[in-house]
Amino acid sequence: MEFDRFLEHFEDGAGQKEQVGLVIYYFETEQAQDEVTQGDVKELIQRSRSSISSSSISTYFSRLRGSDWITDTENDGYRLTHFGEEEVETRLDDEALDNPRGEEDLFLDIDGFENGDDRYERLVADINEAYRYRLYDATMVLTRKFFEDMVFQILKTHYAGEDNEMFYDQENNRHYSFDDLLTNLREGVPTLRQYARELERSTVDDLRDLKEEGNSGAHAIRVDFTDEEIEDWSGDATRIAEILYEVLRGARIADEYDE
Residue 254 and residue 145 in one domain:
yes
Listed as ranges, residues in the chain with pLDDT below 70 are 1, 94-99, 214-224, 258-259
Count Cβ atoms below 10 Å from residue 258 Cβ, excluding itself. Answer: 8
pLDDT at 65: 94
CA–CA distance, 111 with 187 (Å, rounded to integer): 28
Q: What is the dihedral of CA 114, 118, 119, 125, to 10 degrees?
A: 100
Residue 39 and residue 148 in one domain:
no
Looking at the domain assignment, is residue 112 inside a domain? no
Q: Considering its fold, how many domains does the chain have in total?
A: 2
pTM of the model: 0.64
Residue 25 and residue 152 in one domain:
no
pLDDT at 3: 83
Residue 149 and residue 33 in one domain:
no
Exposure letters 33-56 (e unless 16+ CB within 10 A, then b): bebbbbebbeebbeebebebeeee
Residue 137 and residue 94 in one domain:
no
Helix (H) or strand (E) holding 26: helix 16-30
Residue 61 and residue 90 in one domain:
yes
pLDDT at 217: 43
Q: Which of 137, 188, 139, 134 is nearest to 160 (CA)?
A: 188
Q: What is the dihedral of CA 141, 142, 144, 146, to 10 degrees?
A: 170
Residue 160 and residue 226 in one domain:
yes
Contact present, 246 and 198 (Cβ < 8 Å): yes
CA–CA distance, 198 with 131 (Å, rounded to integer): 27
Looking at the domain assignment, is residue 103 inside a domain? no
Domain that holds residue 13: 3-98
Length in residues, the chain = 259
